[in-house]
Structure 1
Amino acid sequence: MTSDTASKTVRPPRPEGGDPGDRSRPRPSATPLAALTARLDLRIVTLLGVLAALAVVGVVTRPEQFFTTDNLVLILTQSSIIGVVTVGMTFVMIGGGIDLSVGAIVALATVWATTVATQQYGLFGVAFTAVVVALVCGLINGLLVSYGRMVPFIATLAMLASARGMALQISGGTTQVVDIPALLELGYRESYVLGIPPLVLIFGAVTAIGWLVLNRTTFGRRAFAVGGNPEAARLAGIRIERTRLALYLISGLCCGIAAFMLIVLTGSGQNTNGNLYELDAIAAAIIGGTLLSGGRGTIVGSVLGVLIFTTITNIFALNNLQTDVQQIARGIIIVAAVLIQRRTARGKA
């Protein structure tokens, strides 16, 4: 071996941590905590921190009431219905749309599914009717937005007015009481599975399926592409219209499921059901990191947003704070979340 070869073969010792530009050798392994943090979305970690802080506030202010099994089950139950609606809203917003009609669709579905004629078919008749009515509304929204080239705000606003009007016309402004024992029993404690109400189990199932569809399917990737850059998605061969139609169908399906859950919870159908659900769902999705402009969002983040809002409402109720204070607090939280999103977007640009 010559001296020149030896000089080329022997390298001087590298500083601790290795050469950043050299990828031929593995870098030192990170600590388990650092590896776990790297895999988690910072927004999700932040939302979990906010939820933990709210839990501490609840325990400090009402230690004998907040951290009890009954109250925790109440929070989950109250989160379940609006949570299902929020899952559907998250899909639509990721695709670059918006759905202002979700609350009205829930109202129409509950009223139509609790008529005397529908109740003759029992539990499954009520559930089937609620889902089909909501799906039809979602289909109309999707057709208007995708193939009618209407602005989502206008199309869903028209559906909001129409669905509310139809719900009022069908119900006559009265409460339609459900008289199906099998349906009403779903709201009783005896129907709990391992101490968990059926409504919470349905919420969990919808969340899991929504996460799988959004993150583990081709359709989910197409939804992100359509919301992030529609023209690039079109050039990539994605059927923009068909994808947007499917997103509004998903929103309608979630509204139908939520309508059935609301019937189980209240034992009735009313034209006033679902009031302001659209604002709550949009706010929860925004808190969870879903962009109003589309292209980004997570099901887990939206669900955490729902839990945060429900926990805040629960804490306010336990401390006997008035409703107007709750609404003011929600408004502040929404504004803060949007401002944080803008700062984050500018930082990544």
Structure 2
Amino acid sequence: MEKSKANMKAILKKLVPFLGLTLMIAVFQVMSDGRLLTKGNLTSILNQTVYVGIMAFGAIFVYSHGGMDLSYGGVIGFSVLISILMANTGIPIVVTFLVSVVSALVWFVLNGLVSVYLNVSPFITSLCIMYMCRGILNTVCATQKYSIPVYMYEYDTWIVKIIALIMVYVICYLLFEKGSIGKANKAIGGNPLAAAQAGINVKATRMTAYLISGITVGIAAFILMLRAGSASTSTGQGLEMNVITALVLGGVPLSGGAKVKMIGALVGSFSVILLRNGLIILGINERVIEGIQGLVLLLLVFLTYEKNKDGIQQ
């Protein structure tokens, strides 16, 4: 009987993110008089979910070992800016894509080296990187916006976005759920000392997680660049909160460990964009929405902390 109850409880925990997403859709659809599921609004939701989801797929590697990263918004803004500047020199679009990935990856290499090998708090390291990237973006874009070449707008298609989303998810899923890198990161999140004693190279594994996350941010930056068409001081602003909220809404415990699942990043990405979009449709001010999102995140983190007695961070 007790085993049956435990199994039922485990199944319910897995279903909570899906039930939450379904409930949000139902509530916002009713309260908005059907405006939530219109074609135009669904297009807007999917557009935003693509790059938030791609970032979340990479971020889950970092958070699974108990890491913390707040640099996503700043790094993606920097990557968009560099990619646009390079694109306007006439380089092929494939090279522009590689520039986007590399420019994001550089910051995540720095992030990993400082936090993993110099033992600086990941929270502090990523916060500093976010401000550095934001400072560069604010300085360069202070007087003007930088736009992509006209021909690049033709690549802002659903074929490109859907293929990118599916490919990144499948690769990250295989690496995280089936590969040794995902299992090792979850083991570190569960107990770093036990993981080390089991033969896992803790530092190398954590560093690999940052590299994967950096690559996904670069891909997301390329998608965002095509959609936005320009870079300004506000590019990427607040995306770090969207990524973290997406993981938590997807049922990812911020302490990491074996309970972290890749599907949570996908469900959570739709959930956080749906939450923000639904509130906008209801006429809620953008600043108030940020407050509501912060409150939701605080509540969910509190619940996660209660379920993980070792604390949120290792």
Normalising by structure 1, what TM-score?
Answer: 0.80
Aligned AA (1:317): I
- How far apart are 1:40 and its partner, in Å? 7.9
What corresponds to 1:300 in structure 2?
263
CA distance in 2, matches of 1:344, 1:225: 17
Amino acid in structure 2 at the alignment position of 1:186: Y
Q: How many equivalent pairs are there? A: 306
State the partner residue of 2:312: none
Q: Aligned pair in 2 of structure 1 residues 172, 210: CA closer, same or farther (>3 Å)?
A: same
Shift of 1:79: 1.2
User: Root-mean-square deviation (CA), in Å?
Assistant: 2.5
Higher helix fraction (1 or 2): 2
1:259 to 205, 210, 221: 221
Instruction: Determine whether 1:143 maps to 2:80.
Output: no
Q: What is the match of residue 74 of structure 2?
A: 104
| Structure 1 residues 338 and 252: alpha-carbon distance in aligned structure 2, compared to 1, 3 A threshold | same
The one-character-per-residue Cα deviations of 1:277-327 (angstroms, maximum 9, x if unpaired) are 112211221222222222242221122222112112222222222223322
Structural mapping, 1:176-255, within 5 Å: 176-181=146-151, 183-187=152-156, 191-193=157-159, 198-255=160-217
**1:161/1:67 CA distance change after superposition, 3 Å:** closer
Distance of aligned partners of 1:105 and 1:140 in 2 relative to their CA distance in 1, 3 Å threshold = same
Partner of 1:127: 97
Instruction: Give yes or no for the alignment of 1:42 onto 2:4.
Output: no
* Contiguous gaps of at least 5 residues in structure 1: 1-16, 21-29
Cα displacement string for residues 147-188 of structure 1 (whole angstroms, at most 9, x for unaligned residues): 22221112212212222223344445521111141x21122x
Q: For 2:280 and 2:69, how far apart are their aligned partners in 1?
A: 29
Q: What is the match of residue 344 of structure 1? A: 307
Q: Return the match for 2:41 from 64, 71, 81.
A: 71
Task: Confirm whether residue 317 of structure 1 aligns to residue 276 of structure 2.
Answer: no
TM-score by length of 2: 0.88
1:159 lines up with 2:162 in the alignment: no
Q: CA deviation at 1:86?
A: 1.7
Q: Which residue of 1 aligns with 2:26?
A: 56
Q: Is the 8 A contact 1:286 1:334 kept in 2?
A: yes
The share of aligned pairs that are identical, in percent, is: 27
Instruction: Give 1:112 shift.
Output: 0.8
Q: Which residue of 2 aligns with 1:287?
A: 249
Structure having the higher Rg: 1
Contact 1:84/1:203 (8 A) holds in 2: yes
Structure 1 distance, partners of 2:184, 2:222, is 30
